[in-house]
Structure 1
Amino acid sequence: MRLLLLIFIVLFAAKVAANELDLKKFAQTYFDTMIATQAPGATKNELENYFALLTDDVGHSHLPWVTDDSRLPDGKEAMRKGMTFYLGAHTEYSAELLDVFTFNNSAIAIRYRNSAKGIHPESKQPIAYTQVMMEVLEIENGKVAVIRKYHE
């Protein structure tokens, strides 16, 4: 009986380990997919590839502009609307992944440097910036459930 129980525990643990998300790999996929949405030639296709990584009720903050990261049923739709507004605003964009930190099986922090130039879609004024960002991603069922963006 003990041997049977031990075999069950080992098989169950192996199955759970096989189903766990590789957070380092996911972080690289997220970063690559996210920066593709900022490229000068980005289209709605790049946005949809990014949104495929998010839960429908994703919460999002980008301090100091967006401070409420509440998860709402239309979280992904709200992000889609905002990101579509800025789609194609960059004439130049580059990003470099600096660090990846993982926490349990539930969170990732990515730190990166990005630079962009372009024209603001509303004001039509030139924009240019270089910054270091950190995004903390809460993971749920293999998707990003909450995004918190911080500037260095």
Structure 2
Amino acid sequence: MDDLLFIDDGEEAKPPALSPACNEAGWVVLVVDDDADVHAVTRMALHHFLFMGRPLQLVDCFSAREALAILPTLPDLALILLDVVMESEDAGTRLARTIRATPRYDHVQIIIRTAAGGYGGRGAFRDIPIHAFVWQSEVSKTRLESLVSSALAAYCTASAAPA
């Protein structure tokens, strides 16, 4: 006969703890891009995506200014998918610098995903800690899933490290 596992009357089964930046709705990912089509394609590509058994909760912003306004309302933010050229040629670069200058967002991962590099392309982010820089033309569904998985794994590692 198979061994059965019983919980003692004094113990209660506990659901697994949510990982940092994963609320009940899933991993919080901020998509910052001025192109509505990029938001739509991102949603389609990541619709069924799971990381550690949890879905993504995508939050849309269409400018760096809008992203700055919404950031304080996202305490569980894990990842930002960020365009460079929005309301100005360097809006994404300036937003990334602002985020990195705010200790609250130290562990949040940033993936730069852009069609136009703005000031200096990849070089503009040489001194800004980001997870990845990719051209939109290089990003397939599989590549996007791989980038998001890698970034969320890095987030979990950074969040678990002692301060």
Structure 2 length as normaliser, TM-score?
A: 0.22
Structure 1 length as normaliser, TM-score?
A: 0.23
